[in-house]
Every structure is written in structure tokens, then in C-alpha cells.
Amino acid sequence: MKKIDLVIIGGGPAGLSAAKMAAESGLSSLIIERNFKIGGQLVKQTHMFFGSEKQYAKTRGIDIAKILVNDVLKYSDMIEIMTGTTVVGLYKDKVVTLLKDEKYIKVKTKAIIIATGASEKVLAFEKNDLPGIYGAGAVQTLMNVHGVLPGHNVVMVGSGNIGLIVSYQLIQAGVNVLCVLEASSEIGGYKVHASKLKRLGVDIKTSHSIKKAIGKDYLERIIIGKLDDKWEFIEGSEEELIVDALCISVGLSPLSNLLSMIGTEMKYVSYLGGLVPLIDENYETSIENVFVAGDVCGVEEASSAIVEGYLTGLVVAKKLGYIHPNYDKLYLDFKAQLHNLRSGPFGEKLRRGLEEIMR
Amino acid sequence: MNKKDVIICRCEDVTLEELHNLMKEGYTSFEEIKRILRVGMGSCQGNTCGQLIQRELANFTNTPINKVVTHKVRPLFAGVKLKSIVKALDDES
């Protein structure tokens, strides 16, 4: 059995930052990444980030990914990276089982940081499985990673930041975005993203949703409708649109299945996107030496995931006896950064959600 | 709405009609429904259908969604060939 002190599950912003900070403290780790390359969802995000300089604000997501990957590669003697590898089992005695190219591998570890991120939510409507219906994140991957257009005439469902940003990127790629639908009476994302779309003439229809998709072998048309204050379709408000792709962007839910598998205490918190683990102030779950970082314990921005990664990497290293020379200063700094990122009116629901999962 | 055309679980091709019929028969927990319809047992392991079924159960049983228990996740999380497990055992001994 392979033995390593720290296993980090997920090679996105949280996992990479955790590995870097652990290595800086003197602790070696193994990063396990399901995708063929590390960087997480940042590798497809061509827009610039907000936040402060410490979380690489005003830098494009793809460039932040490069910075984080390079940081990790600098410690190639301490950080082992396994890509194309899926965690298939997690056990209470801290054995992690992996599958890589049909090879089943067992790893015994002392601490685990789960940084698996989140997955896209879906909607239930008629013919919701027709080819041409995508998650907005999937469309972003198709376009920005693989260079493939999802269609020529697209409708976006959901006006959160992902829906707004992907709509804008579709237009940049030459796609006609007919409209953005938003079930709520208000636009979900930041005004700056919504304004960019409005300037390009894209209609953001609030209190509207997708009613059904139509098509034989692939998506050909959709029926949309207006919603009343109980989110029921208003009769007679239906409208038919000719589209060849539909993007669903109705939020993310934390990928917390592995935590459920190992039996950590969990709670469903809608403000955080779904089922999340209870954590203490250092992101340790109810099982000792099992930590979480990033969207898996509440859906936020990549900037928060980076800082949570740094924080857990720092704390785990100390618990295993590797104390960073600047531990106290860094600890306070990471805590302050997280506090700042969650301040203001947009962070209110998040702050309430996080209060609910504190152990 | 034609419930036959609303797909709840893509992995196992389960429709909203099948789910509603089962709930009407009295199966109102995720674990029971999983055992009959195989929801949550396909390649995505409940990541897609989980929240949809949770909402349907919440509406049907008139329970707040945060009180609806989802399924227990167990290893193995993805398909692993017996050959691979045997090979790993051989390598260990």
C-alpha cells in the first residue's frame, strides 16, 4: 500500500493552494485529480476576477490557474500529482482507493483535504434530455477548453454570475444569445456582468423560465413562459423560440458525496448550495484530520477557494508537526482575507449559511 | 406537463412519471426509491438526480427540503473491474 502523510482530493484552486502551503510548511502531499490536467474550473474562465490583489483580482481565471499550477510545480520533490485519477473509496481508517487507467490503487494517509468543488444543478422540464441542452459550465468547457461551439442560437436559463458571464462569452464566440431567463423577479448576478449583456442588446427576462423543449433527435425549439409570484407558469404567457442549444445555469451544488461516504456530520444548507459538512473554524470536519476547502463546503468564488486552500494546508501541516515559519502571521492574514471576501450585501446569505455549519 | 418526457435520472433513464407513481404507492424515502428505480446508482452517483428527487419528495410529503434525507453514498464510487482489484491484491502480497 502506498503511504503518504497528506492526500488532497481535487486539483482545483483549493487543492493546489493547500498543497503549496503544506509544502511551504515542510509537509509532502499527493494531489488526486479526476481531469487530465490540474487547475480546476479556472482553466476555462477567460474573465477577470474580483476581490483583492492577494487573490489575483484583475487577473483572468486561466492566468490564475497558471500561477497556482506553477506554484505547485516548484515543489515537485514534495508534491506528487496524479491526474486522470478518480477516488473510488474513502474509509474511516484514512485509506483512500483510487482508479487510474483501470489500475486500482490503495493509499494510506494521515490527513485528507477534500477539495472536490461543486457540480451544476439541473432542471426538470419536458424533453430535458434532448441533445443540445447543456449546463452553462459545460458550455464554457466546450468553448474555452476544447474550442467547440455548442450551437448558433442559444437561450440561457439563469442570471447568476455564471449565466451572465457564459452568455457574454458565447457572444464573444459569435453565438446569437436570444435572451437570458431568470425565474426570480431580480437578476441574480453582479450588475457589472448584467450591464455588459444589456449593452449588447440581450434581453434578461426576469420572472421567466423554460417550460418545455421540442425536437426529435436534437433540440429544435423551446417554449418559455412568465411565472407568477408562486413560480407557476401564467397561462397564455407562452412564447416559442427557435434555438439549437439551451444552457442551464441554475446554481451549483457541493460535491460532498465522499464526505457522506466516510460518515462525517452533514447538513443541508440551501444558502451554501446543498448538503455540506459541519466544520470548525479551521475547516476540519467531524472526523479528525479530514478537512475541506473550496466549494465542497459551500459554493463561493474561486478567490475564497484559494484562501481556504492556503488556510487548510497551513493548519493540517501544523497538526502533523510541520509548522510554517510565519504560521501566526499567515493564519491571521488568511482569516482576514476570507472575512473581507464575504463582507458586504452579496456575502450575507453566505455568512448565514456558514454560521449554520460551524461545529 | 407530460411527465413521461421529463427525465429525472439521466444515468438510469428514470422519468418523473415513474417517480410520481412510486411515491403514490407509498415509497417516500430516497433509499427506498433508489432500490427500485436505481436512481443515484449510475455513473454520476446521484449528483444530477439527487436534488431533483429531493425537491419532489419535499413537495409530495410536505416536508421542508432541508429535512429530506438523500441517499447514503458507499464505495465504490465508480465502476471498478474485479480484475483491477485482484491485480492490486496480487501486487500487495
Mean pLDDT of A74-86: 98
Nearest by CB to B75, which of A129, A253, A261? A261
Mean pLDDT of A99-116: 97
B59 vs A: CB within 8 A: no
Identify the residue with better confidence: A316 or A55: A316
Mean pLDDT of A214-219: 97
Read out DSSP for A155-208?
A: EEE--SHHHHHHHHHHHHTT-EEEEEEESSSS--S-HHHHHHHHHTT-EEEETE
- CATH, residue B43: 1.10.10.1100
Distances (CA, A) of A200 to A159, A179, A197, B36: 16, 11, 5, 50
Length of chain A: 359
Query: How many angstroms separate the CA atoms of B53 and B73, rounded?
Result: 15
Asked whether the beta carbons of residue A86 and residue B77 sit closer than 8 angstroms, the reply is: yes
Cβ within 8 Å of residue A339, ≥6 positions away: none
What is the reported pLDDT for A48? 87
Range of the domain at B21: 3-92
Cβ within 8 Å of residue B93, ≥6 positions away: none
Each residue of A292-308: pLDDT tens digit? 999 999 999 999 999 99
**What CATH number has the domain spanning A122-248?**
3.50.50.60
CATH classification number, A2-119+252-356, choose in 3.50.50.60, 1.10.1070.20, 3.40.50.1820, 1.10.10.10: 3.50.50.60
Predicted ipTM? Answer: 0.93
pLDDT mean by block of 10 residues, chain B; 93 residues: 95 96 97 96 90 95 94 90 93 78
How many domains are contained in chain B?
Answer: 1
DSSP structure class, residue B34: H
List, by residue range, all CATH 3.50.50.60 domains of chain A: 2-119+252-356, 122-248
B10 vs A: CB within 8 A: yes
My answer on whether omega of the bond before A332 falls inside 30° of 0, hence cis, is: no
Mean pLDDT of A210-239: 96
**3 state SS of A141:** helix
Half-sphere exposure of A357 (CA within 13 A, CB side): 30
Asked whether the beta carbons of residue B78 and residue A88 sit closer than 8 angstroms, the reply is: yes
pTM of the predicted model as reported, rounded to 2 decimal places: 0.95
Asked whether the beta carbons of residue B78 and residue A261 sit closer than 8 angstroms, the reply is: no
Tell me the β-bridge partners of A82: A32
Q: How many CB atoms lie within 10 A of CB B72?
A: 12
Most A-contacting residue of B76, B81, B89 (CB-CB within 10 A), to test interface: B76
